[in-house]
Amino acid sequence: MKSRNWVRLFLSTLFIGGIITILLGFILKWSEYKELFITMNVTEILSIAFWLLGLGCIFSIISQMGFFAYLTVHRFGLGIFRTVTLWNGAQIILIIFVFFDLIYLRYKFFAESGDSIFPYILLTVFTFLFSCVVAYMKKRQTNKAAFVPALFFMFVITTIEWFPALRVNEADWLYLMLIPLLICNAYQLLILPKLTGEKNKNA
C-alpha cells in the first residue's frame, strides 16, 4: 500500500476515534454536562470537547496499533499452521476462551456479593454480536475464509486493546473506550481493501 494511503488511513481513523469519543463522552455524562448547554457555556463545552478529542485520538492510536499487530500475527499464524483451516480453528478456540473470560473472570474479580452476572454477559454478548456483524460484512466484501480472522480481530484484539478500561471496571470508562475501539477497528478492517485495491484476501 502506498504511503499516502497509510497516512489517509491513520488520519481518518484518528478523526473517527476523536469524534465518536466526543459524542459518546457528552452522552454518557449528559446529566453533568446538560447545564453547560442550557447556559451556553461555550468555553467549558469546548474545553471538555478538546479533552475528549485527545482521549479519542489515544483510543484511535491504540486501535491502529492493535490492527497492525494483528496483521503481523495473522501472517505468522498462517505460516505456523500452514493452512487457513488450522489457523482458523486456533482462532476460534481463542475467541471462545476470551468470550468465557470476559464474563467469568470479570464477574469473579469485580462482582460484589449479590451482584447479578447479567450485566457482564450483556456487555460481552454486545461486543461479540457487533464483531459478528463486522466479520460478516468483511466476508461479503472479500470471501468466506475472511469471517473467522475478522471475528478474531474484532473480538479478541479489541478485548486486548480494551484492557485498561477493563482493569478499572467503571461503567462510563468501559463504554467510553469500547465503542470508539469497535468503530475504529471496524473501519480499518473494512476500508483496508479499498486502500490497497486488493480483493479476495483471507483477512
Distance CA 76, CA 41 (A): 52
Q: Per mean pLDDT, which range of 49-63, 102-116, 121-135, 158-172 is the poorest? A: 102-116
Q: Give the CA distances from residue 99 to residues 25, 84, 102, 185, in Å, rounded to whole numbers and listed in that order.
A: 26, 22, 5, 18
* pLDDT(202) > 50: no
Q: For residue 55, give the nearest of 93, 24, 32 by alpha carbon.
A: 24
pLDDT at 143: 85
* pLDDT(200) > 60: no
Cell numbers 467503571 correspond to what residue? 170
Give 112's pLDDT tier (boundaries 50, 70, 90): confident
* pLDDT(127) > 80: yes
The mean predicted confidence, pLDDT, of the chain is 90
* pLDDT(122) > 50: yes
